[in-house]
Amino acid sequence: MNDEIGFYDLKVDYVTLAEARRLGGLRLVLGAYTIPGPWRESCKNLFEVKGIPYTPVRCSNADAEEILFGANGGHSELIAWTAQSSAPVAIWEDERPRASWLDQINLAERLAPEPRLVPADFDQRVRMFGLINELAGENGFAWNRRVSLVDGALANTEPGSADHAFWTTLGAKYQFSADAAARAQQRMADVMGNFSALIEAQRARGSQYLIGESLTALDIYAACFYALVDPLPENLCPMATSYRPAYTNSDPVLAAAVSPLLGEHRDYVYRTHLRLPVVF
């Protein structure tokens, strides 16, 4: 009996990009695969916490394999619609597609002001957006995690092979270079070290959250991006078995920077506010 979870072992029905363009309401281009990409899961959970219904959409053309992540022109329909090639994308009615995490948070707040996920307090609001950028922005934690992943994959695949070509293409998306790979480890450790100090200070104040006393978008992003350190167990996150090792951190420098309280925070946020098990 094969207990491995495949890339396409899906429970959710995803419409094609062409079908989504004919629909109204909220459409989320997530990608139809069993990988808890942190940007994808954060975007999805923003709207789920607010109770906003949406139509999940695949990100590749109808005749293209999602597992190729846009190689060989497989994201041409996504590019034609959204003027870029990455998921997630949030599209509300006939408004412009929103492909950045900042725009997605602001859209969710506008469509459903309650429960509030952006602090009313100015200082807390500025701090929250800055901290999310450290996780989700260009050259942030997840960006450098991808750079590190590409570095390892290129070193272990044969130049000229299809696998090497795939990782080279993915690396270009994150501006991969030997210099970038050399800097990635310390950058990741720096971000996680600061988040560790933050959650420790908040716990000392008696709060389970990263800012203030209630759930914010930062908590959602921190919980989802923690998958790049230690994914939820299989019974709570049935991700593709072949991708779990890549998501699980094996770098001792990064591990030393991560407080156990960050894992506890992830578990608390999921258990209290997000859907479990994760559904793909």
pLDDT digits (tens, 9 = 90+) for 81-99: 999 999 999 999 999 999 9
Per mean pLDDT, which range of 17-31, 35-49, 153-167 is the poorest? Answer: 153-167
Confirm if 240 and 7 have CB atoms less than 8 A apart: yes
SS3 15: strand
Residue 2 has pLDDT above 70, yes or no: no
**β-pair partners for 91:** 27
Confirm if 66 and 35 have CB atoms less than 8 A apart: no
Confidence of residue 58 (pLDDT cuts 50, 70, 90): very high
pLDDT given for residue 118 in this prediction: 99
Phi-psi sector, 98: left (phi>0), alpha (psi -120 to 50), beta: beta
Q: What is the mean pLDDT of residues 95-120?
A: 99
Residue 252 CA to its chain's centroid (Å)? 23
Confirm if 104 and 88 have CB atoms less than 8 A apart: yes
Q: Is 22 exposed, middle or buried (0-12, 13-18, 19+ CB in 10 A)?
A: exposed
pLDDT digits (tens, 9 = 90+) for 236-279: 999 999 999 999 999 999 999 999 999 999 999 999 999 999 99
Radius of gyration for the chain, computed over Cα atoms and rounded to the nearest angstrom: 18
User: What is the average pLDDT value for the chain, to the nearest integer?
Assistant: 96
Query: Whole-prediction pTM value?
Result: 0.95
Confidence of residue 1 (pLDDT cuts 50, 70, 90): very low
pLDDT digits (tens, 9 = 90+) for 154-167: 998 999 888 888 88
Domains, the chain, ordered by start: 17-111 (3.40.30.10), 122-273 (1.20.1050)
Neighbours of 185 (CB within 10 A): 18
Q: Which two tokens stand for residue 46?
A: 């923003």
SS3 164: helix
pLDDT given for residue 254 in this prediction: 98
pLDDT digits (tens, 9 = 90+) for 138-156: 999 999 999 999 998 899 8
Residue 59 has pLDDT above 90, yes or no: yes
- Residue with the two structure tokens 């992943």: 149
In whole angstroms, what is the distance from residue 126 CA to residue 118 CA?
10
Percentage of the chain lying above the pLDDT 70 cut:
99
